[in-house]
Amino acid sequence: MSAEVTPSPEFDEAPPVSPFKLLGTLGIAGALAGLLLVTVFQITQPSIQAYKAKVLRQAVLEVLGGPQEYETLYVVDGALTNELPAGADARALEKVYLGIDEDGSPDGFAIPAAKPGFQDVVSLIFGYDPATGQLRGMKVLANKETPGLGDSIEKKAWFTGQFAGRSVPLVAVKKGTGSGDATEVDMITGATISSRTVIKAINEALERVRGMVDAYRPGAAGAGGAER
């Protein structure tokens, strides 16, 4: 006898999912993901801001040669003041930092600067002494230049170290071809665009704020009440 073949059971197709139900599920998932992102941001933001403030403080003290303290000045209506205008957002205002020595006297200005480089914007800060017209130092704060080449503007000590004592405006020269003038800065071979970006950023920042820096008098109207 031939074996009886049992036919395979038939399965009904799954009922279609309502588009409204699908949208509702996706909406809930999106809302939960958004809530998670907001929560993580709120938790981590204070630590991030504290770290940024610490890095900035160290950079300001470094490029000014280690003053006792410094105060934050704001660029408002073409002048420097340490009084934040009513209703103004400090984050939206350009800032300059005034070094203060042990006896409370001014000790140079730390000036932030930024300019597009070969890959992305190069952010830096430099120290300037209005009494001599010379730089006190320079530190790159952020860059995304080519690893091993452009990022040498931050990593090569001979490049960053040569800014102290330079007179302004700076003049970019190929390494080893300078005349020894106090305005000359040697560029990094293989990273001339990044090197020149640093030099141009300093020159342009000084051109913009030098008059305000030279005219600033601590203790004058609008200049009191240091923010430490």
Q: What is the pLDDT of residues 15-67, one digit of tens each?
A: 676 777 777 787 788 888 887 777 776 777 677 777 888 889 999 999 999 88
pLDDT at 133 over 90: yes
pTM of the full predicted structure?
0.76
* pLDDT tens figures, 170-216: 999 999 899 999 999 999 999 999 999 999 999 999 999 999 999 99
The pLDDT score that the predictor gives to residue 222 is 55
139 occurs within a structural domain: yes
CA-to-CA separations, 160 to 68, 164, 165, in angstroms, rounded: 23, 8, 12
pLDDT at 225 over 50: no
pLDDT at 70 over 80: yes
- Looking at the structure of the chain, the number of domains it has is 1
Mean pLDDT score across all residues of the chain? 87
Contact 120, 140 (CB under 8 A): no
58 occurs within a structural domain: yes
Nearest CA to 163 among 137, 132, 193? 137
70 occurs within a structural domain: yes
177 occurs within a structural domain: yes
28 occurs within a structural domain: no
The pLDDT score that the predictor gives to residue 1 is 53
71 occurs within a structural domain: yes
Q: What percent of the chain has pLDDT over 90?
A: 63
Token pair, residue 41, equals 């941001």
* pLDDT tens figures, 4-16: 655 555 555 666 7
Within a 13 Å sphere around the CA of 104, how many CA atoms are in the beta-carbon half?
Answer: 5
Range of the domain at 111: 48-215
225 occurs within a structural domain: no
1 occurs within a structural domain: no
